[in-house]
Amino acid sequence: MHAAPARSVAAAALAALSFVTGCSSGNTVIPTPVPLTSTTLLTRLGNDTIAIERFTRTAKKMEGLIVTRLPVARVGRYSVELAPSALPTRADYSVRDGDGAALPGGMQSLSTRFLRDSVIFVGHRTAGDTTAGFGVRGGAVFPFVAYSYALYELELARLSATGRDSLRCELVPLAIGTRQAMPSFVRVTGPTTVRVDLGGPLMIRHDGRGAIISADGSRTTLKVNVERIGFDTDLEAIARAWKAKDQGNAPTTGQISPRDTVEATVGAAHLWIDYGRPALRGRDVWENGVLGDTLWRTGANAATQFRTDVPLVLGGKTIPAGIYTLWTATTGGYQLVVNKQVGQWGTVYDSKQDLVRVPLKESSVATPVERFTIGVEPQSTGALLELTWGTRRLSVPVAAK
């Protein structure tokens, strides 16, 4: 369920489009950004609004406030000081509860200095400050806040300052526990579009001068969509409304993809499956594969783990006792892929470590299943391993060898 203010915000979301851009040495670049008044971005996962961000940016400074609801309401504030080169020199960040209260035992605020070849954090707690840091390659290094898409405007501004059509950069999560930067690559793809590669391609549309209009994250691991809305709204009031729902034991969205386990006995075999459970959130998750992927991690977040203590026959193929990861191939008919690599994130897949691929039988279910569910259904001669989501079910027979 959405809070009422979020519904009114969503109804007013814009899809503006501006024109005019320049060229340099045959490459399309972004013209120099101009100072902006307050801008608001709305981030959705399916039908659910998961973040709203309001910010201002000038040539010397960027300030923003972001409210999120994952899994509970939070309010974050950031301030980034910029050098004439459009690179950050300092970033301050703080997070509070949805009602504005300080988080118990947490960091009150974080100050980050961006030096030539290093990043230095100073975390501020009531009991005292904590200092940490690490080295960076230098060059284009930018702050990163989860579900903040406004901060990508800093990369666009730096891209404009260089006069090039691509930029290699490093993103630094604003958290005292951060130990290294995340590599990212930004490339101009059209007069008003850029592509940011970080966990999949994020496609950003801007107004021709680096002010973000929308962002399509359907091909990233987060699967979000972002759009600029045409008016400011009271973000603190929205955060308080989300917090009130949390306290009423009715979380506004809850954890995006909670982890779950399945344990079952099939003959002499004891099976164990560990997987993430994404929700429909109004999406057609089976369109163009599963969530747009031709090879799906069969869940969310970390790769789905599968363990058996005795050999199995899965879809007619022998699986030795051991632990594996499960993947779902979506082209040319659905197939379950059993892979020998384990313990990795769900975007790390090595086809050379495939053990077997077996066909999955497709069927429909009468009542849509909101969260992706893996189950083991007993049969007279073994069981069916079932993958159910929405109104579709994929299954394969499994038995102890």
The string of pLDDT tens digits covering residues 335-374 is 999 999 999 999 899 999 999 999 999 999 999 999 999 9
> Are 163 and 234 part of one and the same domain?
yes
Indicate whether 95 and 66 sit together in one domain: yes
Number of separate domains in the chain: 2
Q: Does residue 71 have a cis peptide bond before it, meaning omega lies within 30 degrees of 0?
A: yes
337 and 381 together in one domain: yes
Whether 148 and 235 share a structural domain: yes
Q: Are residues 231 and 271 in the same domain?
A: no
Tokens describing residue 58: 């000038």
Q: Are strands 141-144 and 166-173 parallel, antiparallel or unpaired?
A: parallel
Of 76, 79, 112, residue with least CA distance to 96: 76
Residue 182 lies in a domain: yes
Last residue of a domain, one of 207, 241, 275: 241
Spatial separation of the C-alpha atoms in residues 240 and 234, rounded to whole Å: 10
3 burial (CB, 10 Å; 0-12 / 13-18 / 19+) is buried
Report the pLDDT value the prediction gives residue 37, as an integer from 0 to 100: 67
Residue at 350: amino acid letter: D
Cβ atoms 380, 391 nearer than 8 A = no
Q: How many CB atoms lie within 10 A of CB 247?
A: 13
Exposed, middle or buried, 378 (CB in 10 Å: 0-12/13-18/19+)?
exposed
Length of the chain equals: 401
What is the predicted pLDDT for the residue at 11? 34
Tell me what pLDDT residue 254 has.
59
CA distance 310 to 327: 21
* Domain end marker among 241, 270, 290: 241
SS3 150: coil
Q: Please report whether residue 112 resides in a domain.
A: no
Please tell me whether residues 83 and 210 are part of one structural domain. Answer: yes
According to DSSP, residue 381 is labeled T
Q: Do residue 173 and residue 50 come from a single domain?
A: yes
Q: What share of the chain is helix, strand, coil (3-state, %, to 5)?
A: 10, 50, 40
Q: Is residue 130 part of a domain?
A: no
In this structure, the answer to whether residues 391 and 289 fall within a common structural domain is yes
Domain that holds residue 167: 4-102+136-241
- Phi first, then psi, for residue 333 (nearest 5°) are 95, 140
Task: Transcribe 201-235 into DSSP letters.
Answer: EEEEEE-SSS-EEEEE-TTSSS--EEEEESS---H
Q: Which of 345, 353, 274, 334 is nearest to 306 (CA)?
A: 274
pLDDT of residue 8: 37
Same-domain pairing of 306 and 178: no
Model pLDDT for residues 280-334, shown as the tens digit of each residue: 999 999 988 999 889 999 999 999 999 999 999 999 999 999 999 999 999 989 9
| The model's pTM | 0.81
Domain boundary among 241, 274, 305: 241
What pLDDT does residue 250 have?
A: 54
170 in any annotated domain:
yes
Residues 6+ apart with CB under 8 A from 62: 55, 56, 78, 79, 80, 82, 150, 151, 153, 154
Q: What gap in Å lies between CA 124 and CA 52, rounded to an integer?
A: 26
Sites in the chain below the pLDDT cut of 50: 1-29, 31-36
- Do 66 and 176 fall into the same domain? yes
Instruction: Determine contact, residues 309/269, Cβ cutoff 8 Å.
Output: yes
Alpha-carbon span 15 to 17, nearest angstrom:
7
The Cα–Cα gap between 259 and 299 comes to 9
Q: Tell whether 118 is covered by a domain.
A: no
Inside any domain, residue 349:
yes
Residue 253 is predicted with a pLDDT of 60
Does residue 97 lie within any of the structural domains? yes
Q: 312 and 357: one domain?
A: yes
Contact (Cβ atoms closer than 8 angstroms) between residue 35 and residue 58: yes
For 303-337, b/e burial (b = at least 16 CB within 10 A) is bbbbebeeebbbbeeebeeeebbbbbbbeeebbbb
In a domain, 129, yes or no: no
Instruction: Write down the pLDDT at residue 88.
Output: 97
Q: Which helix (H) or strand (E) holds 130?
A: strand 128-135
Mark whether 276 and 210 lie in a shared domain: no
**Position 270: which residue type?**
H
d(CA 276, CA 298): 8
